[in-house]
Amino acid sequence: MKSDLKIWEDVIEEIRWDPQLTKVAPQIGVAVKDEVVTLSGMVDYYSQRIAAENAAQRVAGVKVVAVDIDVQGHLPSESTSDPTIGEAIRNALTWHSGVNEDLIDIKVDNGWVYLEGTVHWDYERKAAERAIENIKGVKGIINKVTIKTKNTDARDVKKHISAAFHRSATVDAGNISVSVLNNTVVLAGKVRSWVEKKQAEDVALSMPGVTDVRNNLEIDFLMPAS
């Protein structure tokens, strides 16, 4: 098992290694306690905040990542008003093949973007957020887009999720239990990394009719590889 010091060193190195973070890496602070990583500091763009979070999550031994990074917003030479940001977001969603922009409402307040609406699939919800992460002037995204509910057979949903876990190269299906109640999937058991935990959640959310996932998976770094 890694010490907090080793995790700290690896997270810093991973952040420095990420090409999106080359210029801002010195501005990002890293603290580690009991395998929980806290990121602080300031970056220029929201996409860099996301990149820093993803970098920390990729490091083996990390159980939780808390992000306290502020987004400076647009640089002085890139004056961007809320209406301009809103227009850029609408254009980005319009030209994104995975998003039906007619189903999503957009509000921009001082660089913060609020997304609302109802879509049919979780991938549409995530695609809307990813489509605007790199837009200049965006300081943060509050994604309140929900997934349209539909009548589902809990046994059928559980069967398909379990089958998807068995097909996955990154999820150990044998250590995960799945239960379904009222369009909500509950995952329990143990996984070997934060990445595996997140992947299991993404698989469950990809099932038609699933509107929420309660991810109760515990991370056990001592689990042997299957």
pLDDT (tens digit, 9 = 90+) per residue, 173-207? 889 999 998 888 999 999 988 888 988 998 898 88
Instruction: Please report the pLDDT score of residue 41 as a whole number.
Output: 95
Instruction: Please report the pLDDT score of residue 174 as a whole number.
Output: 87
DSSP conformational letter for 22: T
Instruction: Please report the pLDDT score of residue 11 as a whole number.
Output: 96
**Cα separation, 219 vs 166, whole angstroms:** 19
Q: What 3-state class would DSSP assign to 43?
A: strand
Domains of the chain: 4-71 (3.30.300.130), 76-147 (3.30.1340), 154-219 (3.30.1340.30)
Instruction: Please report the pLDDT score of residue 78 as a whole number.
Output: 54
Instruction: Please report the pLDDT score of residue 149 as a whole number.
Output: 75
Structure tokens at 10: 């690896």
Which range among 7-16, 134-143, 207-216 shows the weakest confidence by mean pLDDT? 207-216
Instruction: Please report the pLDDT score of residue 12 as a whole number.
Output: 96
136 has a pLDDT exceeding 90: no
pLDDT (tens digit, 9 = 90+) per residue, 94-129? 988 888 889 999 999 989 999 999 988 888 888 999
Kind of pairing, strands 104-109 and 112-119? Answer: antiparallel
Instruction: Please report the pLDDT score of residue 148 as a whole number.
Output: 82
Q: What 3-state class would DSSP assign to 137?
A: coil
Tell which residue, 35, 113, 37, has the closest CA to residue 68: 37
143 has a pLDDT exceeding 90: yes
pLDDT (tens digit, 9 = 90+) per residue, 5-56? 999 999 999 999 999 999 999 999 999 999 999 999 999 889 999 999 999 9
Tell which residue, 196, 197, 203, has the closest CA to residue 216: 197
Confidence of residue 223 (pLDDT cuts 50, 70, 90): low
Structure tokens at 183: 């369009």
Tell which residue, 89, 98, 97, has the closest CA to residue 116: 89
Q: Are 135 and 85 in contact (CB under 8 A)?
A: yes
Structure tokens at 160: 């398909």
**Cα separation, 153 vs 88, whole angstroms:** 40
**Cα separation, 62 vs 216, whole angstroms:** 16
Instruction: Please report the pLDDT score of residue 75 as a whole number.
Output: 53
